Structure 1
């Protein structure tokens, strides 16, 4: 019978593999921080930006005349203490968890769910049908202008009610999100 115990060379190679953390018996290294993924890029994109009030303005050059002041739109400022990469305790209130969702992700969920309800009600198919009808009959006409006005009315309804109580605002967003989804899903057959 042959001896199945490992020899000196095999034991030496095993020790080298373990030291270099490779091989079947090696323990994989524990990452110090989790690897970045697509969601981290989205959160970084939503990270607060430095506004003009936070940075000191450079001194204007002495030789050139001072340009007319531009009107600067104020940017949204995140809540104090927002750090997208900070490790948080899994025990938090639902309101804290909701506040920590990036605004773009909330916006996407809000409008995607409104468009889904419109899909179930048939509004998305209707908007695709109307878009196809306008494409076939022409962009200028009495009925085409009627549908343009109807689309503008849905956007006006959404814009007017978006700061109301959330369920009412969401129901008012259903037609606007459905029309946008229906127009985007339109594909000519020919």
Structure 2
């Protein structure tokens, strides 16, 4: 029977390969910092300062003033406060607002835009499944047969039911409330898209 234990030479080679990061027993290399590239240079470039126009210098020299007996006041030297000597980054050229998370950015969207996006996307879902076209067809049928009647009343009640469903589910979990808003938004868009043929 042969001995399968690794010999001294094999153990020495394994140690060499392990330190060089080769083989299954290799020690993973320590993560290194990413080298700077062109994007870092762009992001670190401060915003250009607006050009200020200096007043024009007079072409003739003013008359020399006679020295007075008072000495000129000393200029005040501004001293740095301790802890304020850290380098502060200048704002970037394209960065006009403070950094914020996605949730903060969504919170800053005006409520009317959120409402419009919510109902427009619900109406688009109704459009893709054919609900908006069906509401437009029903509106045309009601306009042709008469605004008052048993079937017209049934469709009015169905439209009212969609708005009641939307009102009752507004506080539910957002995807469920959005799906429940689809019929109401589709009814509004379908009625608005109706155009009489006369």
> TM-score, normalising length from structure 2?
0.52
Mapping 1:122-137, distance limit 5 Å = 122-137=130-145
Measure, in 2, the Cα distance between the counterparts of 1:148 and 1:168.
24
Shift of residue 102, structure 1, vs aligned partner: 0.1
Matched, 1:102 2:110: yes
Shift of residue 92, structure 1, vs aligned partner: 1.3
Measure, in 2, the Cα distance between the counterparts of 1:110 and 1:88.
26
Structure 1: 5+ residue stretches without partners: 1-29, 32-86
CA RMSD, Structure 1 to Structure 2 (Å)? 1.7
Structure 2: 5+ residue stretches without partners: 1-49, 52-95
Provide, for residues 102-141 of structure 1, a one-character-per-residue CA deviation record: whole Å limited to 9, x for no partner.
0000000000000000000001000000000000000111
Equivalent position of 2:165 in the other structure: 157
Equivalent position of 2:150 in the other structure: 142
Measure, in 2, the Cα distance between the counterparts of 1:88 and 1:101.
14
Matched, 1:167 2:175: yes
For residue 97 of structure 2, the aligned residue among 75, 88, 92 is: 88
Measure, in 2, the Cα distance between the counterparts of 1:145 and 1:176.
17
The alignment covers a number of residue pairs equal to 106
Moved over 4 A (4+): none
Equivalent position of 2:184 in the other structure: 176
Pick the structure with greater CA Rg: 2
> TM-score, normalising length from structure 1?
0.54
Measure, in 2, the Cα distance between the counterparts of 1:162 and 1:170.
8
